[in-house]
Structure 1
Amino acid sequence: MTGTPTLRRPGTRAVVPLVLALLLVATAIAYPLTDGSARDAVSWAIVLLGSGVSVSHAALSRGLRTGLATAALVAVVAVLAEALGLATGFPYGEYSYSDVLGPTLLGVPFLVPLAWLLMAWPSWLLAARLAPRSRPVRVLVAAYVFAAWDVVLDPQMVQAGYWRWAHPEPGLPGIDTVPLTNLAGWLLAGLVLMTLLDLVVERTARPGPPAVGDLAPLLTLGWMTLGGALAHAGWLDLPGSAAWGVVLALPVLAAVVAQERARRR
């Protein structure tokens, strides 16, 4: 009898990241329907909700130490990488932020590390599901998903006036506002971040399997990439990034389907 409350609590607590993810989806749907200051508020809400999904899920699934360590790691790596990029142009290319994003640390708006957190944990989780036994493969997959997500995100943020590149070309075909150096930079940053995140989870996670499932962060990942591509194609007049979002998602979707088929055999 004494163990009964303990068994029930993870299921109840699992609702927290799921509710945040559903609120994020609803807020993201509102993004293309707004403009001006209302759109700025929606952008902040999406990032806050998404980072909340990541931290709450990491803490509930693998323990509070993992949740706090993940948040701290991503924040530090994000600020250092972005500050380096602003000061030197490496590794993303020469770019600048607008004042609309508010307070900064080392020139990096507070919104930016929160956006990294929104993206990093779901990217690592998906990779962990696809490559549970191989750290090098897991890190490569996570870095790929992390960078591919940004291919959809960056043109939208440039369009909103949040940041811009001094030399946006050459870029991917159909995307003329974001240079290829940015994609290379995200792949490099992703490799560094996902290597460190993998080690952090290994060293801080409580023993045993995760206490809650991965629905909430994977819903966040799926909606922000494929839902974002849909918004780009249908409402935001960004067909290039919409197409690339789908193209880059196809190998990951194929791997997920192949894994599910293998499990059912």
Structure 2
Amino acid sequence: MPTRALGVLFLLAMMGFQVASGLDARPERFTGLIVVLLAASAVAFAADAWGARRAVAAFGAAALTGYAVEVIGVLTGFPFGAYSYSDVLWPQVGGVPMVVALAWGGMGLAAYAVAAAIAPGGGWARVCVG
């Protein structure tokens, strides 16, 4: 299956589970799956545009950077102010659910795609706009 079609499939599945979560008495049970599907769709769309190796590298960079910022934020209160995560989402490292890294990776690729559509040039300019 072409990566673009796979991205659409993951995106549709994510939307379906988001709707299902809104109808469930315990919507948090869907969070991990929804985030995994977000990440998978973002990587599939990026792989279609850039190739698999670059897509996985970009996803990894966004996920690791975002996760590091979250751990620093939970431990120090910088840059987001004082906050913490409950134990609903697990496993956690440094007080941050690991699924948060996947969310950062998926949203990082999505933000970069939007920036590519509205920001001239490329490279770091798009990263900053994203």
TM-score, normalization: structure 2?
0.88
- How far, CA to CA, are the matches of 2:68 and 2:3 in structure 1? 33
Find the partner of 1:33 among 23, 37, 52: 23
Match of 2:104 in 1: 116
Match of 2:83 in 1: 95
Q: Report how far residue 134 of structure 1 moved.
A: 5.5
- How far, CA to CA, are the matches of 1:103 and 1:24 in structure 2? 21
User: Identity, % of aligned pairs?
Assistant: 33
- How far, CA to CA, are the matches of 2:54 and 2:77 in structure 1? 32
After alignment, is 47-56 or 102-111 more displaced? 102-111
- How far, CA to CA, are the matches of 1:59 and 1:126 in structure 2? 16
Match of 2:57 in 1: 69
AA of the residue aligned to 2:95: G
AA of the residue aligned to 1:32: G
Q: Report how far residue 46 of structure 1 moved.
A: 1.1
AA of the residue aligned to 1:20: F
- How far, CA to CA, are the matches of 1:24 and 1:74 in structure 2? 20
Cα deviation, 1:213-239, whole Å, max 9, x if unaligned, reads xxxxxxxxxxxxxxxxxxxxxxxxxxx
Q: Report how far residue 93 of structure 1 moved.
A: 0.7
- How far, CA to CA, are the matches of 2:32 and 2:124 in structure 1? 34
Match of 2:12 in 1: 22
SS at match of 2:74: helix
Are the counterparts in 2 of residues 79 and 106 from structure 1 also a CA contact under 8 Å?
Answer: no
* Bigger CA radius of gyration: 1
Q: Report how far residue 16 of structure 1 moved.
A: 0.3
Q: Report how far residue 58 of structure 1 moved.
A: 1.6
Equivalence map 1:141-160=2 (5 Å): 141-142=129-130
- How far, CA to CA, are the matches of 2:33 and 2:118 in structure 1? 30
Question: Is the alpha carbon distance of 1:71 and 1:141 closer, same or farther for their aligned partners in structure 2, counting shifts above 3 Å?
Answer: closer
Match of 1:206 in 2: none
When the two chains are superposed, the root-mean-square deviation of aligned CA atoms in Å is 1.9
Are the counterparts in 1 of residues 59 and 109 from structure 2 also a CA contact under 8 Å?
Answer: no
SS at match of 2:88: helix
Q: Report how far residue 106 of structure 1 moved.
A: 2.4
- How far, CA to CA, are the matches of 1:67 and 1:140 in structure 2? 18
Note the residue ranges of structure 2 that are not aligned, 5 or more in a row. none
- How far, CA to CA, are the matches of 1:131 and 1:93 in structure 2? 30
Equivalence map 1:48-87=2 (5 Å): 48-87=36-75
Note the residue ranges of structure 1 that are not aligned, 5 or more in a row. 1-8, 143-265
Number of equivalenced pairs:
130
Q: Report how far residue 140 of structure 1 moved.
A: 4.4
Q: Report how far residue 98 of structure 1 moved.
A: 0.8
